[in-house]
Each structure stands twice: as structure tokens, then as C-alpha cells.
Amino acid sequence: MESGDVVGILVGTLCCLLVLGIPLAIPVYALVAGRRRRRETQHQLATREPRLQHLLRLSTEVPDHPGPTALVHGGVAYAADFPSRWATGWRNLAGGHARSLTEQVDMARRLATVRMLEQAAARGAVAVTNVRIETSHIDMNGGSRGQQALIIDMLVYGTALLPAKGGTRP
């Protein structure tokens, strides 16, 4: 075998690796990064939510509160990760429950709720009543292949019951 043949084989092998490797590496990276981000977000929620358990949350009004009130809100625009969008795309073919996307929506709701409760806690609230959740989604075209980047927009708001002037709790 001559040196020109070896160089040709090496160049051909390198070209094949680049042509096949890059298209395979991008989805693998997206899968790993998406799962890591999801685990980090779940860990963050697991540490932030228990600190706010003392705040009472009600979806009804409490009109006889003796102290002042304030509007508190928390919002998040949460981009669903690649593995969830990919699994949901396959689920669309057969129909049924898209569990991975449901997890993403639940995570967005929890993040927005934590942000609202942190705002209420910063104001010294004893409870948050009349809690409401507004949702929407933003579809963004992801290029010529028609890939959609799903962004879930979540807003949670409520009425924070602040302590009365004498420091009494409702």
C-alpha cells in the first residue's frame, strides 16, 4: 500500500465521520443538556418550595382580613427541552398522553408559583388568597424543517394578606 492510498483512506474516513458524526452529536448533546437542565430545575424547586410551606395558599377570597393586602405575581417563560419535544412529536403520531410535555408544564407552574410566593414572603405576607393561573404558549419556528420550539408562558397571581398593624394574624 502506498502512502497516497493511506492518506486517501484517512481523508475518506475523516469525511465520513464528519458527515455522520455531527448530525448525530447534536441531538445527543441536546438530550444530555436537556436532561441535566431538567434535573437542576427539579433540584432547585425541591429546595425552594419547602421554605415557602408556611404561606397559606387559597384559590378563594378572604374578604374579612383585618390587615392590608397586596397583589403578588410570579411568571415564567419556560422552554420545553429537546427530549420532551421529540417524545411529544412521536406521541402525536399515535395519540395519547404526552407525559414528558406534562412534566414541563408542571415544572413551569411550580416555578411561577414559587416566584409568586417568594414575592409574598418578601412583603411579609401571612397567606396568599384568590390564587389564579394564566397560561399560554409561544411557538417559534426553528428553521426550514418546520421544527417548533415550544415555550410555555405561565403567570400565577394572587392577593397577599399582609399582617395587621397590631401584628395579629388573620
Residues 6+ apart with CB under 8 A from 158: 57, 71, 72, 73, 116, 120, 128, 129, 130, 131, 132
Q: Per-residue pLDDT for 7 more than 50?
A: yes
CA dist list (Å): 61 to 54, 58, 128, 151: 19, 8, 9, 31
In the chain, the domains with their CATH numbers are 3-161 (3.30.110.70)
> What integer pLDDT is reported at residue 170 of this predicted model?
46
Q: Has residue 141 got a pLDDT over 70?
A: no
Region 49-59: what's the mean pLDDT? 84
pTM of the model: 0.73
pLDDT band at 144 (very low <50, low <70, confident <90, very high): very low
Mean pLDDT for 52-70 is: 81
Specify the higher pLDDT residue, 114 or 149: 114
